[in-house]
Structure 1
Amino acid sequence: MAGTRTLSKYWMLTNDFTQNPYPVLEHVRNESPVSELSMPGGGRAFVVTRYEDAKAALADPRLSRDIHVHYRLMSERTGQTMTPPPEEANHLANLEPPRHTPLRRAISFAFTPRRAEALRPRVEEIADDLLDRLAGQPVPDLIAGYADPLPVITIAELMGVPADAWPDFLRWSTALRTYSPTDGSGVLDRNIQELSAYMSALIAEKEREPGDDLLSALIHADPERRLTSTEILSTGFALMTGGNDTTASLVGGVIAALLTHPDEREQLLGEPGRWGKSMDELIRYVSPISNALQRVTTEPVELGGVTIPAGEVVVISVMSTNRDTSQFPDHPDVLDLDRHKPAHLSFGFGIHYCSGAHLAKVITEIGARRLFERFPDVRLAVEPAELRYAQNVVVRPLEALPVRL
């Protein structure tokens, strides 16, 4: 492919790329593994596409995830003073050590593999209830009716949110992933305020009357592991965005992959014990994360032979790393459930490795398995080429997944 493609300066932001990114990413990996990308509002970003460079970048403290560093850069580029809302400025994904360290220690108890496995029966009940609602529809959409609500309801219940608020949580989660801080419509601010007000009231209620849920556990934790009210609120926001978005994208992507790979689906249905063992290969192949959350260089950093100056945005293309032949030499464009240890980067690497990775795998495994067990003849209601992906710089969700059950 070398020399056959000329990239637009907005190459990663085009609809053509969104729908079929892999040929472009292969070209970039081969020809310019650390490439510049122009941003529509001005400025640029450096895109890292090779596995080893990406792994190094994710572990490099000079590439900051501190949200205050990001907002300072946005302020400089837009000429407007911008400050992060406290709901987003006090959780793990948006902080670096030293603040990051005690926060991760404080919430790690809630996301152990053992706790995630204990949730299996309840996740199965939620999945079955959602499938019951879809059963009578002639052409149900598995995104709006299944992949989106399954993680939202699971995580809302994990936090102790009552069932009558779940529709609002689905609406808030959608808004938080759809609108950016630079959007001028006010939709993001309005939804942040609504979710913040609800969560603040819920936290106050659980301070008075704790339950058997994550928020209560954080509020009434031992003193050495206790968070402030603002940190608990911000953690709730992180679960609503990072937890819901990535898992919804993963559930929809895995189901779509198995709908278009009938042999692999039959293997899993014939050997139920293979589901858990196959999840990492399914995640690698699907790449529910387009790019890791953006970093900003705090000093010059060399990656892939390119020196990136201080004060620059760095985008790490997870989709590209998950198809890099240097890491996956045996046909990375093929879904191979027997692939040996597919060490993908979809959940990150280093101190920002996703705390809820195992829970996301459990939700996805159950979501896909229950669907195909319940409806073994389910098939796409459109041609695979007609499926469309929503444009998003972090996750890669399908817009819709119409099927006949």
Structure 2
Amino acid sequence: MKGTGTLSKYWMFSDDYTQNPYPMLARLRQEQPVAKVETPDGVRAWVVTRYDDVRTALADPRLSRDIGKLYGALGRQLGRELPTTDEISNHLANSDPPRHTPLRKALSFAFTPKRVKALREGWHKVVDDLLDDMVRTGGQDLNTGLSEPLPIITIAQLMGVPDSDWPQFLVWTDTLRRVDASDPTGIKARHTKELSDYIRDLIARKQRRPEDDLISALVHAEGDKRLDAKEALSTAFAVMTGGNDTTTSLLNGAFTALLTHPAEAAKIKADHSLLPAAVEELLRYTAPVINSLQRVTLEPVELSGVRIPQDEIVIISIASANHDPDAFPDRPDELDVTRKRPAHLSFGHGIHYCLGNHMAKALTEIAVQRVFERFPRIRLGVDPSELRYQPGLIVRPLVSLPVVFGPTA
């Protein structure tokens, strides 16, 4: 694809890009693999789009995830200080080595595939309960009925939140997802504080009386695997808020892709053993995390012959990398649930590779299997062209996912 005109500096924030970013990303891979963009509030950034460059950038220590350094660079561009908080300053996604290393070691110890496997049976029940609620109330939006509440509830379970508190968690996380930080009502700031206070109290309770959950494992681990209260707060806050949107995006993307590709859905319905490989392909095809968390250059970095200066913001396009024909020469823009070894980058690469990948994949497998088992004739409730996405730098939230369940099995 060749461009037909000069690229607007706001190209990433156009509605055309939000609704379908792939034509623009294909153009950039060919013409400007490292392209400049400007945010509506005036922040300059560089966008990396080719698979090899994306993979390199994700693991390059010169591209920092240190939140203090990132906010410092943003603040210098905006001409004002951007303060950090305990909630965002003390977890591994927002830090570099050496601080990152013990934090990742602690979470790796607590957030294991074995722990996820032990919770899978309970997650089947959560999915069925949510689907039962949709049927009982006549709900037709798979986004609000399943994709949004499922990660919130299951992450709450993982952290050891009592069942009675799940409804309040839904309220808090819904606000954090939907309300902009500049909202004049102050509801986002109030709900952030309420969630933080709740997590602090939960940590204190787990310190006094540990149970078989993630927070207990973090605060009662031996030696350098143990987190202090501030680190546990930041980590729990990151798991609670960061894991929700990304898994919701994956679930919505999976169902949208399968409902618009009935031949691929039919393969899964006929053989559930295809699900693990199919989820890997859905992760590649839908790119639930459209861009990685932003980085800041600690020194000049060159990618595809473009020199990015020091102290610049870098946006790494996962969606573009996952559709790069140089990495996926066999029809990269098509969904194929039997694709061999789809080496996608949807969970990142390098030291910041997502530790929640086992959980996200398990939830998607369970949700797809149960929906297709219970509602084999499920279909979209609108024409695919009517589905709308909201703009976002990390995820591209689907506004709604109307479905018609059809006769049950």
TM (normalized to structure 2)?
Answer: 0.96
The 3 A distance-change label for structure 1 pair 167 and 141 is same
Q: Aligned runs of 1:59-70 on 2, under 5 Å?
A: 59-70=59-70
- What is the deviation of 1:112? 2.5
Superposition pairs for residues 288-327 of structure 1, below 5 Å? 288-327=288-327
- Other-structure match for 2:122: 122
Secondary structure at the aligned position of 1:273 is classed as helix
**Does residue 204 of the first structure (1) align with residue 204 of the second (2)?**
yes
Deviation at residue 354 of structure 1 after TM alignment: 0.1
Does the 8 A contact of 2:111 with 2:214 survive in 1?
A: no
CA displacement 1:210-257 (0-9 Å, x = unmatched): 222111111111123111100000011111122111111101110111
Measured after TM superposition, the shift of residue 185 of structure 1 is: 5.8
Map 1:1-400 → 2, pairs under 5 A: 1-178=1-178, 186-400=186-400
Distance 2:398 2:42 in 1: 28
1:402 aligns with 2:402: yes
SS of alignment partner, residue 37 of structure 1:
strand
Conservation of the 8 A alpha-carbon contact between 1:250 and 1:283: yes
For residues 87-132 of structure 1, what are the alpha-carbon distances to aligned partners after superposition, in whole Å with 9 as ceiling and x for unaligned?
1100010000000000100110233223222221011010000000
Contact between 2:92 and 2:235, CA under 8 Å: does it hold in 1? Answer: yes
Q: Provide the aligned length of Structure 1 versus Structure 2.
A: 405
Contact kept? 2:139, 2:145, Cα under 8 Å: no
The Cα of 1:327 is off from its aligned counterpart by 0.3
Any conservation in 1 of the 2:277–2:338 contact (CA below 8 Å)?
no
Q: Distance in 2 between matches of 1:37 and 1:182?
A: 22
How far did residue 138 of structure 1 move? 4.0
RMSD: 1.5
Contact 2:88 2:234 (8 Å CA) reproduced: yes
Letter in 2 for 1:108: S
Deviates more, 1:381-390 or 1:185-194: 185-194
Q: Which amino acid aligns with 1:129?
A: D
State the identity %.
54
Pair 1:48–1:187, CA change in 2 (3 A)? farther
Q: Secondary structure at the match of 1:119?
A: helix
One-letter identity of the residue aligned with 2:228? T
Task: Answer whether contact 1:173 1:245 (CA < 8 A) is retained.
Answer: no
Deviations 1:306-330 (A, max 9, x none): 1000110000011111100000001
Give the aligned residue type for 1:8: S
The whole-number CA distance in structure 1 between the counterparts of 2:119 and 2:256 is 24
d(CA) in 1 for partners of 2:351, 2:179: 27
1:1-53 CA deviation, whole Å, 9 max, x = no partner?
Answer: 22424322100111111101111110111110000001211131000000000
In structure 2, stretches of 5+ residues that fail to align are: none
Q: Contact (CA 8 Å) 2:74, 2:313: kept in 1 or not?
A: no
* Contact 1:172 1:191 (C-alpha < 8 Å) held by counterparts: yes
CA separation of 1:180 and 1:44: change in aligned 2, threshold 3 A? farther
* TM-score calculated relative to the size of structure 1: 0.97
- For residue 345 of structure 1, report the CA deviation from its aligned partner: 0.7
SS in 2 for 1:285: helix
Distance in 2, matches of 1:137 and 1:210, equals 38
Gaps of 5+ in 1: none
Quote the Cα distance in structure 1 between the aligned partners of 2:139 and 2:404.
5
- Give the Cα–Cα distance (whole angstroms) in 1 for the partners of residues 211 and 166 of structure 2: 18
